[in-house]
């Protein structure tokens, strides 16, 4: 059985999804370091584009297909730590990533945002990053609303392969077109 609802006298208490293979991860010693820092735990498998001080990466746990993050190379935890150059390149790359996603996936809209601090929802709260989430009419369907389950329609390696060439296409020698 992969899931089920615990019931007591006809009242639903919570949904449970059984994932026994996660036990090994839960019991294992976790590596120290940052998943976004180049010389630490970062996986280059998800990198789409690297600028001078900022890079674009697929979210390993996407909200929707094409969920990207724009991340400074430096380990910054607060907005005021950005240099003017990092701020400019960050938002230039957010714009570029939006153009790439629009060309490749034709979404109806985008969510763009930052979760500053763990209480605000940041999974990594000590290395700033900007989320860019493509959205389509009807992408919040019964699976998300009633099943509390997201359906990601494409493998991350396929998404990466379709997006990477477009970053080069939209970049001119002097910066984003």
| Active-site residue set | 129
Q: Which residue, chain included where needed, has tokens 């976790």?
A: 30
Nearest to 129 by CA among 115, 147, 139, 108: 115
**Residue 103, both tokens:** 């060309």
Q: What share of the chain is helix, strand, coil (3-state, %, to 5)?
A: 35, 25, 45
Sheet containing strand 54-58, strands side by side:
47-50, 54-58, 68-72, 130-135, 109-113
DSSP E strands: which ranges in 76-149?
109-113, 130-135
């Amino acid at each position: 059985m992969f899931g089920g609802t615990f019931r007591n006298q006809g009242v639903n208490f919570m949904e449970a999804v059984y994932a026994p293979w996660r036990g090994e991860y839960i019991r294992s010693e976790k590596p120290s370091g940052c998943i976004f820092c180049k010389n630490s735990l970062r996986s280059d498998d998800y990198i789409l584009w690297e600028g001078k001080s900022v890079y674009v990466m697929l979210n390993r746990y996407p909200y929707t297909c094409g969920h990207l993050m724009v991340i400074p190379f430096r380990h910054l935890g607060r907005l005021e730590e950005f240099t003017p150059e990092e701020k400019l390149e960050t938002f230039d790359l957010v714009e570029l990533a939006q153009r790439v996603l629009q060309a490749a996936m034709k979404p109806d809209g985008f969510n763009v945002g930052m979760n500053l601090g763990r209480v605000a929802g940041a999974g990594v709260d000590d290395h700033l990053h900007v989320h860019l989430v493509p959205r389509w009419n009807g992408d919040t369907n019964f699976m998300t609303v009633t099943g509390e389950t997201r359906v990601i329609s494409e493998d991350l390696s396929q998404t990466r392969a379709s997006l990477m060439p477009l970053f080069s296409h939209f970049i001119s020698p002097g910066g984003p077109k």
